[in-house]
């Protein structure tokens, strides 16, 4: 946990302006690992309340894109703004405070901590103007009753689907306006993928903006209004989820139809 608290006496960055819309704008974003180009000049936007999917095969650059948005890998080119703020000027540890939640690939819950402690860890990054941690906890338990029932259990004792819900719940504790999800359906049974879809639709219903990265195109088309298809680090196609679901090439490559 970082020491970015007033009690620790460290200087905080200025809070983001509340009045501006929370549109995510990605222009010409590139990511390189040494000489390897993982993401090549991609662009898209996520409007307030919009749900956008990024589908693509193994190694297409989906995770690198999300990590670059969060400042977790360096952007080798391009510009990313959220709610009018240029994220190049925001330290990685402060991106969450600007209203972007992140559910990483592989969930990364803390197995040796209780469910509730895992959730509380998500609250450290609350925005400056917000202090209702207990209220947020109650909201997460309302959204995921199973987490409330298991609040005192160790996270490591949860099933894969429950751990995914915990990872989403932890991100929600920071009260994001936009939530980035990296392959929430990975490794889950078809029944649990249905549960994840229900969660995503519920988040949409709450007015959150979503950016969903998935290899599961079927889930993505159901959960989002618009999609980006990534291939070899580039945007290969964009369109509404309904249009792409009916596209012959997409059906063949991503839906196996």
Ligand X SMILES: Nc1ncnc2c1ncn2[C@@H]1O[C@H](COP(=O)(O)OP(=O)(O)OP(=O)(O)O)[C@@H](O)[C@H]1O
Residue ranges that bind ligand X, judged by CB under 6 A: 33, 36, 38, 56, 58-64, 105, 215
Q: Is 49 exposed, middle or buried (0-12, 13-18, 19+ CB in 10 A)?
A: middle
Chain residues that interact with Mg ion, rule: CB under 5 A? 62-63, 105
Q: Which is nearer to Mg ion, 64 or 136 (CB)?
A: 64
Helices and strands (H, E) in the chain, number of each type: 10, 10
Contact 225, 210 (CB under 8 A): no
Contact 176, 101 (CB under 8 A): yes
Q: Which is nearer to ligand X, 33 or 128 (CB)?
A: 33
Nearest approach, Cβ of residue 211 and ligand X (Å): 13
Contact 137, 122 (CB under 8 A): no
Q: Which is nearer to ligand X, 37 or 154 (CB)?
A: 37
Q: Is 219 exposed, middle or buried (0-12, 13-18, 19+ CB in 10 A)?
A: buried
Q: Which is nearer to Mg ion, 39 or 200 (CB)?
A: 39
Nearest approach, Cβ of residue 181 and Mg ion (Å): 11
Q: Which does 56 bind (CB under 5 to 8 A by kind): ligand X, Mg ion, none?
A: ligand X
Q: Which does 197 bind (CB under 5 to 8 A by kind): ligand X, Mg ion, none?
A: none
Nearest approach, Cβ of residue 105 and ligand X (Å): 6
């Amino acid at each position: 946990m970082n020491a970015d608290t007033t009690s620790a006496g460290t200087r905080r960055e200025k809070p983001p302006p509340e009045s501006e819309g929370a549109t995510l704008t990605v222009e010409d974003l590139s990511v390189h690992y040494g000489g390897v180009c993982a993401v090549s000049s991609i662009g898209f936007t996520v409007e307030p309340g919009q749900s956008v999917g990024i589908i693509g095969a193994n190694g297409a650059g989906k995770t690198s894109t999300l990590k670059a948005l969060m400042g977790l890998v360096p952007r080798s080119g391009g510009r990313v703004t959220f709610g009018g703020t240029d994220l190049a000027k925001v330290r990685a540890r402060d991106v969450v405070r600007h209203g972007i939640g992140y559910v990483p690939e592989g969930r990364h819950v803390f197995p040796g901590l209780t469910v509730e402690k895992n959730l509380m860890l998500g609250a450290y990054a609350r925005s400056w103007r917000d202090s209702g941690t207990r209220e947020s906890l109650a909201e997460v338990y309302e959204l995921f009753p199973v987490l409330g029932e298991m609040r005192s259990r160790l996270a490591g004792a949860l099933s894969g689907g429950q751990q995914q819900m915990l990872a989403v719940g932890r991100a929600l504790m920071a009260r994001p306006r936009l939530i980035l999800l990296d392959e929430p359906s990975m490794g889950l049974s078809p029944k649990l993928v249905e549960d994840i879809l229900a969660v995503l639709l519920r988040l949409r219903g709450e007015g959150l903006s979503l950016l969903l990265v998935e290899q599961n195109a079927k889930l993505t088309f159901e959960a989002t209004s618009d999609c980006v298809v990534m291939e070899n680090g580039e945007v290969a196609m964009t369109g509404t989820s309904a249009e792409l679901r009916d596209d012959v090439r997409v059906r063949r490559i991503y839906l196996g139809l």
